[in-house]
Amino acid sequence: MTVPVVNGSSCVSLFASSKELLDHAINFYTNIIGLTFHSETGNCIYLANKDNKLTIELNIDENGPSEADINAKRQKFVHQLNIHDWRSMESSVVIKCANLNQVIVTLQTFKQPLQISPNELFPNEVYTIDPLGNIIGFNAASHPMTLVPPMEKLKPQGLESAAMSASSSHFSRQDEGFKRRRNIAVMTSGGDAPGMNANVRAVVRAAIFRGCKAFAIMEGYEGLVRGGPDYIKEMTWHDVRGYLSEGGTNIGTARCKEFRERPGRLLGCKHLIEAGIDALIVCGGDGSLTGADLFRAEWPSLIQELKDNGDITAQQYDTYKHLNICGTVGSIDNDMATTDATIGAYSSLDRICKAIDYIDATANSHSRAFVVEVMGRHCGWLALMAGIATSSDYILIPEKPSSSKGWQDQMCTIVGKHRAEGKRKTIVIVAEGAITSDLIPITANEVKDVLVERLGLDTRVTTLGHVQRGGTAVAYDRMLATLQGVEAVKAVLEVTPDTPSPLIAIEENKIVRKPLVEAVKITKSVAAAIESKDFERAMSLRDSEFVEHLSNFMAMNSANHNEPSLPVNKRKRIAILNIGAPAGGMNSAVYAFATYCMSRGHTPYAIHNGFAGLARHESVRSMKWLEIEGWNSVGGSEIGTNRQTPEETDIGMIAHYFEKYQFDGLVIVGGFEGFVSLDQLEKARAMYPAFRIPMVLIPATISNNVPGTEYSLGSDTCLNSLMDYCDVVKQSASATRDRAFIIEVQGGNSGYIATYASLISGAQASYVPEEGIALDQLELDIKSLKETFAVDRGLSKSGKLILKSSNASKVLTTQVLADIMKEEGNGEFDTKTAIPGHVQQGGLPSPIDRTRAARFAIKAVQFIEDSVDKLAEYKFSLDWPDDNSISATAAVLGVKSSHLRFKSIRQLYDFETEIGKRMPKKVHWTRTRDVADQLVGRTRMRPPPS
């Protein structure tokens, strides 16, 4: 609990276990804090400020903590400096002061440990530790969240020499064990990847936010070997402005032969010490990260050699004895083990899918075949995911080769059957590392020759090359790079000399730390297994999701030409429908559902235009392979959708048609209306036996507000559309120099879109329905905008964005918000509004929505296959059991943290949902809001604790 001393008169009692500690406390509060002696009674000393509104009572109590206890406590807090908020660790006293910046400068002069909130650029509160081990905070205003001027504008003044001499000896002695402020460097190495700039921006600003100095090592390891201010540069907050929307890496990357040898690493060690750097974050591939970990392992011997040679002093040796290293993976190949995605991989996949979409159109026009070569020397991830996302006919990847003749026969059989069914075009994707089982490379031209000679197809070759690396990062890579950069800074502050170097990874939807050495070792083992022709081991070393995607591609691709994999008695009749607003990936889910059902022997049905179409028009159609060809890369909803739930139409008629068509399972693809519909159908099972079938909801809504999942189809497509829109608007605002755009985004009562769009666009603030728009928060944001524009005047890339969810406030509309900001800006800046509207639903679905839709749809069919027998005995029973295992056969398929799981609609609807708000009770993006605000220096009002 924090003791508030910012309002009214207050007296705080503090205890010292000895006279010596009491004297130290008196020195601290009088000479540093500026209190004066008020009175003395027995063993109690009273100190007060000028108007006597604050009184500190200092007591001697033998039961108080000893000096050893206090020092241990101080060490505990200093160890957590810039890692955890001290206020969350122990109760504290907050004192109102007239000049917060002066207090900060004074405490720094006396070498006191400080924790500044929210950051040094715009300090709001500062906390330190007094000689008795108490957490003491200072605030400059009667309201604890009022913004004060930036720190850099003030210098120490008015410090009396007597005061310094009276107290400096004690505080410098206690400071000996303090944790020194970290100097953190970031480097990009190896091949460039979209999102590296976002990663650098996040590291620099997160380091500054946590009270550290940030450095950039230019040109990768070559810059480390060369050293000097031209290659190792201290970075300021504003140096990384605009990095989010720029491709490549602005700090450069280069291969470095010198660093591979010990003398080169010795030079790198020397240059880091000269720059005062003790933590290094490397963004690169497995080779770059291997070099980083070797560098850390050799550091003790390197620094010892420098000391023995006289290249560094004994003090430097003691200060920089340990180097903390952390890795973030920047690689378009997505070839790093233990992480689901690497920075740049989905941006590269996006380039590939767009290119194939364009090629697809001309291929269809001329009835041609195209062979598309993509990158992936040792990993076929890009080729595999592009194959799924674009419904390609065949892929060739290094992990799953066949004999020199085997792949030719298989490809020609599949392509030939596709053509026989009436398909006019053929797309074959070849990874540049594609090989036969004898390790003989398979070239794109060789594939073309086979298609021409054996099938007589008019065939062309397209090699995408470095187009796959170019351009700005997609929304996912900006988000991934940013969150990993923030976590990397936290990691290098927390690790100890005994902690293995961490790698920042992602599992499903959760940022995690993995041992760097282990990840690199597994990654290199894949290449080694391929070289030794142990392809089974190579596949086993890939993550389980890679294996799952490959299995899914093969199943969908064999829908029309292989014998179904299930016996006749196991084959079912399964329906799918869309409900709610259109969302990117809906068609992909329908396509994957239908083709997978065909490969298994099930009969897939499409219910057109949702439940309303079924009840009114009996809009049920069985799905044919050629009819849905190409749907995977089409936006909108080809089978139609609307928002009406079963109870809003005619649930009895719906049950009638379910019985008529004898459906054995149902897949619903939709948003909150789909969630409500699943609840209604599950509740109606007791009355209508037709609903006693397994039912699955695949969440699909740009609002991402479905309980039970942290990801919904369409949300990534929406974020990409909104990101492009914001980039264009921000460019306009920057050209005008003194303009802020207030952009209204969709999302209903969910702040997901506004939060993540803010993170990936670098918006100054975002307003969401979960928080509303408080007037004091608005006032704070306007003051921040005024100061920012004043500092940025005349600089480039100075456009500002404010994002507002449409439901954030009914009173403060987007236009009203713009008018208030312009009026209160007093001429410092102009404001304009921008409303992207339904543009946010996107055009073509993103590769993430396409591939996840395929994964989710196939999982849903598998769930139905596994669950159908559980309901068989109750199909026509008069007594419907109240059993959790039975109700769990109606489930939501969702991503929760690092897991993909099914969760019962009963559990979710009854216990985890705010029905009136159409929202889950627990919001999972709160931490992301904090990060987005931290990286733009925004101070945000916190709601009072409940």
Report the pLDDT averaged over residues 270-274: 95
Q: What is the mean pLDDT of the chain?
A: 88
- How many other C-beta atoms lie within 10 A of the C-beta of residue 129? 25
Q: Which residue has the tokens 């991402």?
A: 704
Report the pLDDT averaged over residues 776-803: 82
**CA-wise closest residue to 390 among 718, 715, 854, 857:** 854
For residue 64, what is the DSSP state? S
User: 69 Cβ partners below 8 Å, 6+ apart?
Assistant: 133
Asked if CATH classification 3.40.50.450 holds for the domain at 568-713+848-908, the reply, yes or no, is: yes
- Model confidence at 171: pLDDT above 50: no
Torsion sign (Cα): 209, 213, 218, 222: negative
CA-to-CA distance for 777 and 600, rounded, in angstroms? 56
Q: Which residue has the tokens 């303090």?
A: 178
Would you state the pLDDT for residue 170? 31
| Residue 794 banded pLDDT, cuts 50, 70, 90 | low
| Residue 688 banded pLDDT, cuts 50, 70, 90 | very high
| Residue 807 banded pLDDT, cuts 50, 70, 90 | very high
- Model confidence at 199: pLDDT above 70: yes
Angle at the Cα of 59 from the Cα atoms of 53 and 61, rounded to 5 degrees: 155
Tell me the pLDDT tens digit for each residue of 812-844.
999 999 999 999 988 888 999 999 999 998 889
CA-to-CA distance for 122 and 936, rounded, in angstroms? 11
CA-to-CA distance for 828 and 826, rounded, in angstroms? 6
- Model confidence at 152: pLDDT above 50: no
| Kind plus residue range of the DSSP H or E element containing 602 | none
Contact of 306 with 312, CB cutoff 8 Å: yes
Would you state the pLDDT for residue 317? 93
| Residue 151 banded pLDDT, cuts 50, 70, 90 | very low
DSSP 3-state of 137: strand
- Model confidence at 736: pLDDT above 90: no
Would you state the pLDDT for residue 96? 75
| Residue 386 banded pLDDT, cuts 50, 70, 90 | very high
CATH level 3 topology of 346-468:
Rossmann fold (3.40.50)
Residue with the bigger pLDDT between 26 and 604: it is 604
Would you state the pLDDT for residue 121? 66
Report the pLDDT averaged over residues 508-529: 91
- Model confidence at 30: pLDDT above 90: no
- Model confidence at 446: pLDDT above 60: yes
Contact of 96 with 5, CB cutoff 8 Å: yes
The CATH number corresponding to 183-340+473-522 among 2.40.160.20, 3.40.50.2300, 3.40.50.450, 3.40.50.10860 equals 3.40.50.450
CA-to-CA distance for 642 and 670, rounded, in angstroms? 10
CATH class label, 2-177:
alpha beta
Contact of 297 with 262, CB cutoff 8 Å: no
| Residue 136 banded pLDDT, cuts 50, 70, 90 | confident
Report the pLDDT averaged over residues 106-133: 80
Would you state the pLDDT for residue 738? 81
| 154 CB burial (10 A radius; 0-12, 13-18, 19+) | middle
| Residue 796 banded pLDDT, cuts 50, 70, 90 | low
For residue 637, what is the DSSP state? -
Residue with the bigger pLDDT between 67 and 514: it is 514
Report the pLDDT averaged over residues 353-357: 95
Q: Dihedral through CA 243, CA 248, CA 253, CA 255, nearest 10?
A: 170
| Residue 35 banded pLDDT, cuts 50, 70, 90 | confident
- Model confidence at 162: pLDDT above 80: no
The segment(s) of the chain belonging to CATH 3.40.50.450 are 183-340+473-522, 568-713+848-908
CA-to-CA distance for 368 and 356, rounded, in angstroms? 13
The segment(s) of the chain belonging to CATH 3.40.50.460 are 346-468, 715-843+928-934
Distance of CA 639 to the CA centre of its chain: 32
Report the pLDDT averaged over residues 574-599: 97
- Model confidence at 373: pLDDT above 90: yes
**CA-wise closest residue to 233 among 254, 219, 216:** 216
Angle at the Cα of 249 from the Cα atoms of 183 and 222, rounded to 5 degrees: 65
Report the pLDDT averaged over residues 368-393: 95
For residue 541, what is the DSSP state? H
- Residue 711's identity, in one-letter code, is Y
User: 716 Cβ partners below 8 Å, 6+ apart?
Assistant: 475, 476, 584, 846, 848, 849, 852
In this structure, what are the phi and psi dihedrals at residue 520, rounded to the nearest 5 degrees? -65, -40
CA-to-CA distance for 699 and 716, rounded, in angstroms? 13
Would you state the pLDDT for residue 798? 67
**CA-wise closest residue to 323 among 301, 304, 295:** 295
Would you state the pLDDT for residue 944? 42
User: 131 Cβ partners below 8 Å, 6+ apart?
Assistant: 21, 24, 25, 27, 28, 70, 170, 174
Residues comprising the binding site?
191, 255-256, 285-288, 331-333, 368, 375-377, 432, 460, 466-469, 643, 701-705, 739, 746-748, 832, 838-841, 918
Beta strand pairing status for 54-60 and 92-96? unpaired
| Residue 176 banded pLDDT, cuts 50, 70, 90 | very low
Tell me the pLDDT tens digit for each residue of 314-337.
999 998 999 999 999 999 999 999
Would you state the pLDDT for residue 565? 92
Report the pLDDT averaged over residues 577-598: 96
Find the distance separating the first CA and the last CA of the chain, reported in whole Å.
13
For residue 141, what is the DSSP state? S
Q: In this predicted structure, which of 22-26, 37-41, 460-464, 748-752 has the lowest mean pLDDT? A: 37-41
Q: In this predicted structure, which of 17-31, 242-256, 409-423, 879-893 has the lowest mean pLDDT? A: 17-31
Strand partners, 574: 604, 665
- Residue 859's identity, in one-letter code, is K
DSSP 3-state of 814: helix
DSSP 3-state of 579: strand
Report the pLDDT averaged over residues 211-238: 93
Report the pLDDT averaged over residues 137-157: 47
- Model confidence at 169: pLDDT above 60: no
Tell me the pLDDT tens digit for each residue of 892-946.
999 988 789 999 999 999 999 999 999 999 999 989 999 999 999 888 776 543 3
DSSP 3-state of 546: helix
Would you state the pLDDT for residue 7? 41
- Model confidence at 53: pLDDT above 70: no
| Residue 250 banded pLDDT, cuts 50, 70, 90 | very high
- Model confidence at 666: pLDDT above 70: yes
SS3 sequence of 914-945? ECCCCEECCCCCHHHHHHHHHCCCCCCCCCCC
- Model confidence at 58: pLDDT above 70: yes
Would you state the pLDDT for residue 10? 64
Peptide bond into 118 cis (omega under 30): yes
Q: In this predicted structure, which of 35-44, 653-662, 734-743, 833-842 has the lowest mean pLDDT? A: 35-44
Domain at 715-843+928-934, CATH homologous superfamily: Phosphofructokinase domain (3.40.50.460)
Contact of 727 with 787, CB cutoff 8 Å: no
CA-to-CA distance for 712 and 670, rounded, in angstroms? 9
Global confidence as pTM: 0.83
CA-to-CA distance for 590 and 247, rounded, in angstroms? 34
| Residue 159 banded pLDDT, cuts 50, 70, 90 | very low
The pair of structure tokens assigned to 117 is 């909130």
| Kind plus residue range of the DSSP H or E element containing 283 | strand 279-284
Torsion sign (Cα): 668, 674, 680, 682: positive
| Kind plus residue range of the DSSP H or E element containing 630 | none
CA-to-CA distance for 887 and 474, rounded, in angstroms? 39
| Residue 168 banded pLDDT, cuts 50, 70, 90 | very low
Would you state the pLDDT for residue 51? 65
Strand partners, 54: 10
* Residues tagged active-site: 333
Would you state the pLDDT for residue 141? 56
Residue with the bigger pLDDT between 409 and 57: it is 409
**CA-wise closest residue to 718 among 749, 743, 745, 744:** 745
